[in-house]
Structure 1
Amino acid sequence: MKLKILLFAALCFLSATVIAQTKDSLKTELPQISLSPVPVEVFAGNNGVSFQLIVSKYFKPDSRLGFFNVTQFTGKYDTADQAKNELMSLALISFDIWKGFSLNTGAFIDNYGGFSPTAGIQYLFANKDFLIIALPRFDLARNYNFEAFGLAEYRPMFTKNWGFYIRGQAMYNRNIKQDFLERSYVNLRTGVTYQNFQFGLGYNYDVYGGTFNSNQHSFGVFLRAELF
């Protein structure tokens, strides 16, 4: 609990310092991603099917306020494994402070631990070929979990319609109050882009701590669409 309070206080102090130093230059340094697409992905693996939706939008093109959401659902094929079906959703209001960095606050919910308000810092970098998102945060209730979420995407285009697609995505969630790993995963994707669609091969590695205490490997195929 003391560690969580100290770390969160340090984040707030750092953010306040950055705001004071960069107040006059914010308008010209905000990342221009207000028209970013909303990617929706389905992954069919050997153990089950997963769905993911990521939203990163500003409320207005010239606004510092935005909305960020990651929603994931995993369903198992085997009727004996239905208790292992999983739903996770992170919804945050963001406030840009400096060159891709923003303060976030919102809520996290999953079917294992339940609901908790949360807060953290996000870094986002985006251009025509690369997308990088880093998001460390703390739950402000329950077990005061610390979570680090990261995503790196590379998608160069070879022609007007065709290109290459690769993505690495990971999450690490630790129960601070009881001091154990609660949930983590690594998702890898590689394939091709055709217009606003991506498809190819995928791999998911999922780790569960606490009561469930297991790890799972899934190999399969994915289809991803970018909605504008």
Structure 2
Amino acid sequence: MSLTVFVTGATAGFGKAIAERLVGDGHRVIAAGRRAERLEALQAALGDRLLPFVLDVTDTSAVAALPSSLPEGWREVDVLVNNAGLALGLDPAQKADLRQWDQMVATNITGLMHMTRALLPAMVERNRGHVVNLGSIAGSYPYPGGHVYGGTKAFVKQFSLNLKADLVGTMVRVTDVEPGLCGGTEFSTVRFSGDDAKAAAVYQGTEPLTAADIAETVSWVVNLPGHVNINRVEMMPTCQASGPLAIKRQG
């Protein structure tokens, strides 16, 4: 069955890989993001099963206008992949930039909420749909400098579970995909304000997850039979694990 899938943050990283994979699966993908030229290049590569759609998920007016602003034939969205998100900075909380905190909350929480609220009612009305949220293991395991980013991903996890509670008895599914260390994307470059060397050091000596691994997981949960709901997928590379509690000893 061919589905119409809306993927946010599709200009790079997870979103681009997810769009490519789902088109390869035979679905139609609305690839949304802020960088029009990248979306157009993606359409040129993938063909007319991909619709480029310029959208900033922090633009509440534009998000509220969905899906009526989509072209005819693309308005019945079967799957929403809330992928748009970012981490900014790694300073301790007492030194962090409040503007970065606000931007993470606006994108990772408010943008995801508004996108879901815009497209969910029609899914419920049709009694068919799937909301796939991109969370993170940072929502479960704290680390120094993770403060607001981890907090936003903890929200994504709980929001996903509560959505499922609201939707029980319908055929609308909700999944939170929670990756750990993942390389080959812009994630760390964005976090460190374009410092490529600092970003590369995060993955030095590791074999991290890749965007293709995340796309594979999204493909799996989306293509399962309609009565199967995967609540959460927590995934890490074999080089990563949760650590012991930190203890600061005196003397």
- TM-score, normalising length from structure 1? 0.28
Which structure shows the bigger proportion of residues in strand conformation? 1
**Greater RCO structure (CA 8 Å; 6+ sep):** 2
Which structure shows the bigger proportion of residues in helix conformation? 2
